[in-house]
Amino acid sequence: MGGRPCYRTQLLIYLFLVLIILHLYLRQDTCENQLQRSFLSLPVFETTSEDFSVPSTSVKTIEETPFSIKFKNANFKSTYRILPEATNCSSALLLAVVLSQAKHFKIRETIRETWGRVETKMEPNLKVLFIIGRGRPEENMLIYEEAEEYGDILVISSPDTYRNLVHKSLALFYYHQTYCPTRYLLKIDDDVLFDFSRFFHFQAKGKIPENPPAIFGKLWRRSKPFRNPKHRWYISPRHFDHKFLPSFCGGPSYILTRGAVAQLLNSTRNVPFIYNVEDVLLTGILAEAAGVKRIDMPRSVHPNDRLLKPNPYGIKCDMDGVPYLFAVHGRKTPATIRSGWEKLSSLNCTYKYP
């Protein structure tokens, strides 16, 4: 008899703890859903004279051109605010789209003067654009002026934030398939250097084949998903419940064949939308579902600029003496972009490898 009160007390404590755990679980689930919805259901951004009025210019725009991409758990929607003319797309081998921030005016100018400059001999094969999200009112007018001057700006309605990188990537995939379906698509951030002449050389040598559909870049294997909800790359087990992520190409730069882009867009309905891990979602989870190969290019695509520094092992080249390295990440200012480009474009061959 004397043990019953103790038993009841233990039972009450147990039930109380269960209720607390259930409350915390439901609260976390609700927060996740609210956060996910906040990035999937962005309100339509209305054009006003204060923040996104269109000056009377010849900038090619398609008025409020919406597009949507259906995922398993949501319908991603956005709108093109500025669309550059789709010239040279039928003949070009490569469309390069640089993900840039609205405020990065000087960085875009530097890229146009360095690695993004389209030389006459490459012009038939190359088209370079910048994709930008919605900036502050004072930035948006300057962006229109920039678009009018250069004709290489693609603007979408999603706010220009780090968390909306996946918005820009989906928008450039859709743009490529709908308006400018070149044989290859380069997705590249504005802190990466890229040598187009070397890319064309290795493509012509069969090192970057069009078939089967594939993504080429720095491949990350057997990475574990971040499970801490406070981490910026958190992935909920509800969206991906495996111990290891599929192999994926690092986000700073990767190359897709035209067939790969098509297969990715045709397979989005089979995967959940995860707003904060652009490379994992698009080149890992989605690519796996779409049956798109991911091919590692460790000699050519480097995740940092270490290879631009004095290297005791020398520079590796192919049998024609062309350096394998053509993409380097980690140059975040106009000055470092210029100095890095001078080094990347002037590499001298030390060793030849087939």
| CA distance linking residue 210 with residue 217, whole number of Å | 14
Pairing status of strand 153-159 against strand 75-82: antiparallel
* Confidence band, pLDDT 50/70/90 cuts, at residue 228: confident
**306 or 283, which is more confident:** 283
Residue in the block written with tokens 């007390």: 9
Phi, psi dihedrals of residue 112, rounded to the nearest 5°: -60, -30
Q: Tens digits of per-residue pLDDT, 56-100?
A: 444 555 457 899 999 999 999 999 999 998 888 888 999 999 999
CA 258 to chain centre: 16
Percentages (nearest 5) of helix, strand, coil residues in the chain: 35, 20, 40
Q: The sheet that has 327-329: what strands, in order across it? A: 192-194, 327-329, 301-302
Q: Tens digits of per-residue pLDDT, 209-218?
A: 999 999 999 9
Model confidence pTM above 0.85? no
Q: What domains can you pick out in the chain, each with its CATH number?
A: 65-296 (3.90.550)
Query: Left if phi > 0, otherwise alpha if psi is -120 to 50, otherwise beta: which for 314?
Result: left
Q: Tens digits of per-residue pLDDT, 146-204?
A: 999 999 999 999 999 988 999 999 999 999 999 999 999 999 999 999 999 999 999 99
Q: How many C-beta atoms surround the C-beta of residue 53 within 10 A?
A: 12
- Specify burial of residue 274 (Cβ count, 10 A radius: 0-12, 13-18, 19+): buried
